[in-house]
Structure 1
Amino acid sequence: MKKTVSISKNKNFVKTALAVVVAGLAGTVLADGRIEGQIKATEQGIALQGAKIRILELNREAVSQRDGRFVFLDVKAGNYTLVTSYIGADDIKRSVVVQDQQTTRENFQLVGVSGLVENVIVIGQAAGINKSLNKQRSADNILTAVSADAIGQFPDTNVSESLQRLPGLSIERDQGEGRYVRVRGMGPDYNAVTINGVGVPGPDADRRAVALDVIPSDLLENLTVTKSLTPDMDANSLGGSIDVQSLSAFDRDGFFYQLTAEGSYDENTEETSPKVAATASNQFSLGGDDNNLGVAFGVSSFKREFGSDNVETGGAWDFEDGEARLEEMEQRDYRITRERSGVTLNLDYKPSDDTDLYWRNLYSEYTDSEIRLANVIEFEDALAEGEVGSAEVQRELKDRTETQKILSTSLGGQTRLDKWTVDYRVAYSKSSEDEPQNVAGAVFKIDDDVIADEAFDLSYTNTGKILISAPAEYYQSASYKLDEVELGSTNTNDESTAINMDFTRDLELAGNSAQLKFGVKHAEREKDNNVDIWIAEDFTGDTSLTEFSASEVDYQLGQFGSTINAAQVKSAIEDAEEDEVESSIGDYLITEDTSAAYVMGRVDINDWRILTGVRYENTDFTAQGNSYDGDADELNAQSFENSDDYFLPALHIRYSISDKTQVRAAWTNSVVRPGFAQLSPGRLIEEDDGDIEAEFGNPDLKSLESSNIDFGIEHYPGVASVISAFAFYKAIDNFVYQTDLGGTAGYEDFDKAVTFVNGDKADILGLELAASKQFTSLPSPWDGLLIGGNATFVDSTAEIGGYDDGEFVARDIPMPSQSDTSANFMIGYESDKISMRLSANYKSNYLLEVLEPMEVDYDAYVDDQMQLDFSLRYYLTESIKLHFEALNLTDEVYYSYVKDTQYNAQYESYGATYKLGITFMQF
């Protein structure tokens, strides 16, 4: 499959971009003076982002950037007063003189609030909270941030687990580890992820969601979640946009390094796993200028061996006649090895006082090796709890290794002219998922030479954590023989290239400080998926399970049976035939090319800041795949294409009641494309005993569009302290869900036609509360006490439906992946030598999936979860610290259900994990 590129569209976009550049530069004339400088922490030289710097006489405000730099352009000659404001530090007031066509440089070295330890703005829990709060306070829009210091205080393994601590965010776990992030009740497919500002495609074949467990948390400097988009941002998020920032050499002065070695212990498998990580940065002088070149490097490697025990029904219950009867179930045992490694290399170069250039790179690789053993039970007649009934049983093995990779690289910079600031960047990102040939399923059925009726008489107790009662033969390997082996391989690639330019002009509007910004962007994305399936049958020789089994499975949910050796299963395969249909129907190539332009303006009127603007986006979509008609036995290629335009206005208002208290409001609009499985052109039509059934994607799906309203208040009473409350509402058009169109217009001859369609509307209404407090007013040693918490309450409604005798019947559901309540609570303590934190994370139940559109009893929900974690850090010296961490102290399980909590869909337990490590560092 080859990608088709619209030459004429690209030419038009280039012409438009050049016209914008010319228009921007045409405004460059001789200007008045300029004030610029840097904000850093005293002695350590750590750059402080988010500090406010105000020119009192002009009511103009600037915010320090990541390297601490701030700038005021186009300042008329005269005498002025600069005042700094940074949560956790004393304000500094300084007089400056500005002259025509000259730059006045003023650098500020901030110190901790009088009477408190210096570390309040350098390292530790309070310092991490301060950094995040300053960034949040000074932003034009609504966002939440977490710094590397704060990340290090939690026992989190990857990026998603670090994000779960923030207001309005929760995570979805895989085998107990955080994987996907939900923002304000929106599932992970509806949120954008960027690395150093560059959009990242997802490695999963079916989803847009970016699996953030791929990225090690050791390589990060900041995480920022934007909850209300400004027009200069990509509009591809309904819940929020998550930006992952890696280390920069200008985050701090001079040579910096940090080395960490750690070991972790898994309670479930009693396995110990190693981890090492190192980051370093330094500044160099190039071409006669002092420290104008920065180099930052980081590497991380973590190998974890663990497992879980599972029993699940998949919702296979019969609820007719008011009684619950089980139709089928599985016992599963997982043994998993996960290797997570990453490397970052960032170069920053300042060739002049007016130009900054950068090259940012982050590569991460995540290998998941999984051995899954299963006892698959299918009752001949649905069985009630405590009854004894006949059941067919299969022993199954799945043995696969899957590697996901994410690469992000961007080259760009900023040039400050007399009146204009120009930002420019070209970026490339790639995500991939590779699963080489593996045992997708080895099936051992009951040996009819051993068990005459090919079934066992079984019973079960407890409809939640289901326990099986079975005869001895059920567990004996001699009762089974190899029947079939399915081999599979999958390869998915998702590539994105983008180029953008932005122009910013500070100006005066009716005596008020203002800013004009506009820009253009073009991005091209290509995603392909290739699936291969082989089937092996008709084995020779002795195929009894005894020939492939070893020790007994260590299963915490009862007796299980023996393990199965995957290597021996593979060696038993003499010939495997490719399944051409299954190998083709999942293949696709999808492209999405997006061109965008925006304009926005900002004005400060007394204590008001108003930002408004509009973004235009055009997306050209193409899809190629395969269709199989079983009746005609024909496999055909098919393709689709369409184009959509969007105008997305925005309004942001911030009112400062005082320097410590501000009110925010925002009206924004955003758009998200449906998932790749939903858009896939693959179509499978099969006939079974005269019944025609089809399953297919829908490339003609409309994008989800959301209009968002936010309103809230923030109060910053002191060091590491905040109280905030935000209400939000989202009205979403074109919500996507799966349904059955069989028997309806266009599908009259189909008994079943399962596909995806657009619904009318979905609504989300929420309240987000957050508070933290460092008790600095208490006498020593209690002045090191910190308490923090947040809670988000969400209510959502989405309409879905299906057809009953040709008539469409609708019903309401909550948005999938949306918990009505999610909350965090933290109590911490720190002094010069010790830092400890106890953290609780809670999320209420949420809709996992709709199994039957017309049957509310078969909506699968994930039960509420409460996880307790503990971390302790002890500073042996200023540069050496020990840390101990304990995760999942309450042994929280994963439990999903149908109808109500007593009916199992899946039960899985993991146990606790303990970590011990040492870190060497130098600032």
Structure 2
Amino acid sequence: MKHTNRMTSLESVQKRRQPVRIPFMKTALAVALACAGLPVLADARLQGYVSAGEPAIALQGARVRILELNREAVSQRDGRFIFLDVKPGTYTLVSSYLGADDVQERITLVDHQTHQVNFSLKGVSGVVENIIVIGQAAGINKALNKQRSADNLITVVSADAIGQFPDTNVSEALQRLPGLSVERDQGEGRYVRVRGMSPDFNAVTINGVGVPGPDADRRAVALDVIPSDLLENLVVTKSVTPDMDANSLGGSIDVQSLSAFDRDGFFYQFTAEGSYDDNTAQTSPKLALTTSKRFSVGSGNDNLGIAAGISHFKREFGSDNVETGGAWDFGDGQDLLEEMEQRDYRITRERSGVVFNLDYKPGNSTHLYWRNLYSEYTDKEIRLGTVIEFDEPLASGEQGIAEVARELKDRAETQKIFSSALGGKTDFERWSINYGLGYSKSGENEPEHVAGAVFTLDEGVIADEVFELGYQGKRNIRVNAPAEFYQAQSYRLDEVELASSDTNDESLSLHLDFTRELTLADHPAQLKLGVKRVEREKDNDASVWVSEEFIGDTSLTQFAAGPVDYRLGEFGPQIRARAIKAVLDNVEEDELESRIGDFDITEDTSAAYVMGRIDLGNLRLLSGVRYEQTDFSARGYAYDGVADEMNTQTFSNDHDYWLPALHVRYSFSDNTQVRAAWTNTVVRPGFGQLSPGRVLEEDDGEIEASFGNPDLKPLESSNLDLGIEHYPGAASVISAYVFYKSIDHFAYQTDLAGSAGYEGFAEAMTFVNGKRAELTGIELAASRQFSNLPAPWNGLLVGGNATWVDSTARIGSNDDGEWSERDIPLPSQSDVSANLMLGYESDRWSARLSANYKSEYLLEVLDPLDVDYDTYVDEQLQLDFSLRYFVSDNIKLHVEALNLTDEVYYTWVKSPRYNAQYEAYGPTYKLGITFMSF
């Protein structure tokens, strides 16, 4: 590992990067195109397809073995398997797939010839022919076959399984998997955590192409942007291999969109749905269409596949909120409240997506593809707030003097993700070559909007410009106030802030992978090596304007609408944003706020790897090493309030790593195996932490500063996994894993005031690297289809998983000239996360009741030296239900209910008694119909 840091001008950064970018990309692309066009020599090759049903459904994850040679191939997504460089002779070929009978065939291979063997699997009691297409057990079965046959530890959910849950987006679908949980936004799943690791520490790809995050300050990809209707598989890798990007401490999530080679013939599926939000009594529509078909081009048979899909969902809903932000005074054993806020949200979310994929097989040895996914997510939010600041901290049940303000925020935010993957695979006599070019772009745009309209007490109506107020409770806090507190005439417009922002994150990647099947001392083996180049650029541009001068009457009565429907007590009138914009006068730009958050960051990564695999009887060993080198540069702004100067500043550094890995899989039988893995991964800190922005201000002789730290070291993790898997039958598994992660350079925010270099500062808030963090966990999963029971119990399906995680990280801060430290759990890590599912299905209907649980987790450290102000998200248990009925083979009705327990989002400080935020959403109900053809 090597780290090099340097400061330079923007011009020198650009000059330095150019010689690296262009030659590498041009040369590698030329090699990839040349590989695609080389003639193919078929020498002792065995290939074929594994499928089921009529019309055929491609089966991925089937194990195909040549018994006499102990060689194994795994069917890929299109059902295809291949053995290269097989000695001539007569062999026994066996196909094994969970939920189906093994199929065996004797074959004779002749030198310089290609032998084609296709397996059409038959199931027990019609499992494959029927359930593989429409049943919830079939969805589980598909996933388990892929997991069982993988060289490393993965968890999979297929489109069939996604369709059985009432999940709207990708993140909600992933929360059902062992070791995964979600962070919610307004009740909807948004960011995904893997094995207790923050979403910022997990990689996301779409069809194998890395996806940058649309948020300005985070690496995490907001997976609620992507509709679940356009997917074929979700694959979570928990132990990466050397041929994978190393940017995942917890895991890597691959979103795979549909392909025409996933199934035979013409396919379509159209869904129309309406949802009802209990909190706002709003009804919202959803439409989704996916289709695929194969065509014969040239001399090929069904060698061109086209798949497309479109989805649109508009949801109107809301939430009711009361929060303190942790503003409690716990001094001298007290629990007094300093300030609080009531909030009412009215939200409209539109989630749209388009998929267009092409697959082309010009011959038996080449498969080319072009896969595209575009998704757009618009979040329109009207937030009304009542802000209360007590003159003196107040106890529950007491009355005290308070300043009060009414506030409005009205904004529309659009996040976009586009991913395009162009590439293919060509099989030669002894080598296979994968080649691909990927482009992805994400962004977040907020057009000019009312970021804050503040109404303060009108001195002509409220003489002292304060109220005597009180409150009740410490969790779901209720305000005790006089009637004038809720009346519009008590308030007058004081200040309006307008804002806009635009964030873009763009990535271009190119990879070449070479694979060679060989034999070492009569043991089947594989050698794989490759290179990859990723060039990424992220920029953020924000603007802020402020007005304190207005035209006409500014009483809140001129802007008020009807009363707010607020379930947590009385609130007062609504506020109209358009009316506010109409009275603005002398709007001035806030130069500091407009520029200090702007930045332009580039990260260019070059990687190379080599890895090998060998089968020693029932033992499979995979080992290798990956080398990654990243060049980083950043440009931003620094404001010196003492000198009243705004300057541009630039940073650059580079890091490189050697990342070895070892994976072990031992099979006691086809259905029982143990796994072990030692891997090394690395993730750069978040963009907000790396931002070069810096603010230095002086107030009454005290100097305060806040700034990012572009010189933060990346987080490095050494990971151990050990577990056992047993597959007792179709849609059934019992697995247990233990895992351990040792993380160097954990990054956190702290105050450096008083330490070396900041001796004269009253405050110096920035980000620093901490010492080692550690995480240990146990992951259990089980599912069982009871098809062997007598009717009607043979339709019963039970599944569950649970993960226990314990972590620790050390943080510190300067305290009166002394550096003090303490231990915290890793942020965003629940000690327990679990899922329980009870399902039942017959030939015509299918029902599922599912519970999702996660224990409390650390959200934010407000004071590095005071544990009482650590903010935690309270435990959550959500209960969902879905019912599907097949009117015919091609028409399906479904009814779904989400959040039946009316689970709230609650955060607290010190203990669950003390509110930081309380937010209620209510349940959602859905009714829909699906037309489909297989």
Q: Which amino acid aligns with 2:140?
A: I
Instruction: Report the CA distance between 1:601 and its aligned residue.
Output: 0.2
Aligned counterparts of 2:25 and 2:155: Cα–Cα separation in 1: 35
Shift of 1:806: 1.4
CA displacement, residues 562-608 of structure 1 (integer Å, 9 cap, x when unaligned): 00000001111122100011100000000000000000000000000
Counterpart AA for 1:35: L
Q: Which of residues 496, 505, 511 is equivalent to 1:485?
A: 496
Deviation at 1:780, TM superposition (A): 1.5
Q: Could you say if the C-alpha distance between residues 301 and 473 of structure 1 is closer, same or farther in structure 2, counting changes exceeding 3 Å?
A: same
**Within 5 Å, which residues of 2 pair with 1:6-405?**
6-10=17-21, 13=24, 32-114=43-125, 116=127, 118-405=129-416
Residue in 1 aligned with 2:476?
465
Please say if 1:533 is aligned against 2:520.
no
Find the partner of 1:411 among 422, 425, 429: 422
Select the residue among 441, 456, 459 that pairs with 2:467.
456
Other-structure match for 1:594: 605
3-state DSSP of counterpart to 1:298: strand
| Partner of residue 763 from structure 1, selected from 759, 765, 774 | 774
Report the Cα offset of residue 44 of structure 1.
Answer: 2.5
Question: Structure 2 CA distance, aligned partners of 1:768 and 1:85?
Answer: 27
Which consecutive unaligned segments of at least 5 residues does structure 2 have? 1-9
Q: RMSD of the TM alignment (CA)?
A: 1.6
**Which residue pairs with 1:863 in the alignment?**
874
Q: How many pairs were matched up?
A: 922
CA distance in 2 between counterparts of 1:579 and 1:764 reads 44
Deviation at 1:29, TM superposition (A): 11
1:550 aligns with 2:542: no
Matched with 2:796 is: 785
Task: Assess, with a 3 A threshold, how the Cα gap between structure 1 residues 134 and 456 changes in structure 2: closer, same or farther.
Answer: same
- Report SS of the residue matched to 2:124: coil
**2:440 aligned with 1:429, yes or no?**
yes
SS in 2 for 1:229: coil
**TM-score normalised by length of structure 1:** 0.98
Query: Structure 1 residues 365, 94: CA separation in 2 closer, same or farther (over 3 Å shift)?
Result: same
Residues 431-474 of structure 1 show CA distances to partners (whole Å, capped at 9, x for unaligned) of 00000000000000000111111100011111010000000110
Contact 2:40 2:427 in 1 (8 A): no
Matched, 1:565 2:569: no
State the alpha-carbon separation in 1 of the partners of residues 344 and 27 from structure 2.
Answer: 58
Q: Residue 658 of structure 1 aligns to which amino acid in structure 2?
A: S
Q: 2:889 matched to 1:872?
A: no
How do 1:557-706 residues align onto structure 2 when only pairs under 5 Å count? Answer: 557-706=568-717
Q: 1:404 to 1:783 in 2, by over 3 A?
A: same
Match of 1:738 among 738, 749, 758: 749
Q: How far does residue 115 in structure 1 lie from its aligned partner after superposition?
A: 6.3
Native 8 Å contact 2:100 2:127 kept in 1: no
Aligned 1:803-818 pairs, distance under 5 A: 803-818=814-829
Work out the CA distance in 2 between the residues paired with 1:852 and 1:364.
Answer: 38
- 1:13–1:595 Cα contact (<8 Å) kept: no
The whole-number CA distance in structure 1 between the counterparts of 2:399 and 2:435 is 71
Of 851, 859, 862, the residue aligned with 1:851 is 862
- Alpha-carbon distance in structure 1 between the residues aligned to 2:653 and 2:159: 43
Provide the secondary structure at the position in 2 that maps to 1:582: helix
Contact residue 381 and residue 390 of structure 1 kept, 8 A = yes
| Residue 853 of structure 2: aligned partner | 842
AA at the equivalent of 2:65: R
SS for the counterpart of 1:181 is strand
Tell me: CA distance 1:339–1:29, structure 2 relative to 1, closer, same or farther (3 Å). closer
Q: TM-score, normalised by structure 2?
A: 0.97
Structure 2 Cα separation of the partners of residues 519 and 7 of structure 1: 23
Provide Cα deviations, 1:374-432, integer angstroms capped at 9, x if missing partner. Answer: 00000000101111100000000000000000000011000000000000000100000
SS in 2 for 1:131: helix
- Cα shift readout 1:504-536 (whole Å, capped 9, x = no counterpart): 000001110000000000010000000000001
Amino acid at match of 1:182: R
Query: 1: distance between equivalents of 2:526 and 2:394?
Result: 70
**Secondary structure of the residue that 1:315 maps to in structure 2?**
coil
Deviations 1:818-848 (A, max 9, x none): 0000000000000111000000000000000
Aligned: 1:420 with 2:420: no
Tell me the residue number matched to 2:737: 726
- The aligned amino acid for 2:485 is Y
1:7 deviation in Å? 3.3
Measured after TM superposition, the shift of residue 539 of structure 1 is: 1.7
Q: Structure 1 residue 111: deviation in Å?
A: 1.7
Report the 3-state secondary structure (helix = DSSP H, G, I; strand = E; otherwise coil) of the residue aligned with 1:368.
strand
**What are the Cα deviations for residues 321-343 of structure 1, in whole angstroms up to 9, with x where unaligned?**
10100000100000000000000
Which whole-Å CA distance do the structure 2 matches of 1:754 and 1:138 have between them? Answer: 49
Could you say what secondary structure the match of 2:111 adopts?
coil
Shift of 1:122: 2.7
Shift of 1:11: 6.7
Equivalent position of 2:7 in the other structure = none
Q: Which runs of 4+ in 1 moved over 6 A?
A: 18-25, 27-31
* Equivalent pair of 2:410/2:450 in contact (CA under 8 Å): yes
Alignment partners' CA distance in 2, 1:487 and 1:846: 34
* 1:564 to 1:22, Cα distance in 2 relative to 1, 3 A: closer
Superposed CA deviations along residues 212-269 of structure 1, whole A, max 9, x for unmatched, are: 0000000000000000000000000000000000010000011000000000000000
How far off its partner does 1:14 sit? Answer: 6.2
Query: How far has the Cα of 1:290 moved from its partner?
Result: 1.1
Structure 1 residue 22 displacement after superposition? 13
Amino acid across the alignment from 2:658: F
Partners of 2:23 and 2:713 lie apart in 1 by 25
1:866-911 deviation per Cα after TM superposition (whole angstroms, max 9, x unaligned): 0000000000000000000000000000000000000000000000
Percent of aligned pairs sharing the same letter: 70
Deviation at residue 42 of structure 1 after TM alignment: 2.4
Is the partner of 1:717 in helix, strand or coil?
strand
For structure 1, the 5+ residue unaligned runs are none
Alignment pair present for 1:520 and 2:531: yes
Structure-2 change in CA distance of 1:662 and 1:28 (3 Å): farther
Equivalent residue of 2:656, what SS? strand
Structure 1 230/557 Cα, relative in aligned 2: closer, same or farther at 3 Å? Answer: same
2:838 alignment partner, SS class: strand
2:3 maps to none
The structural deviation recorded for 1:538 is: 1.9
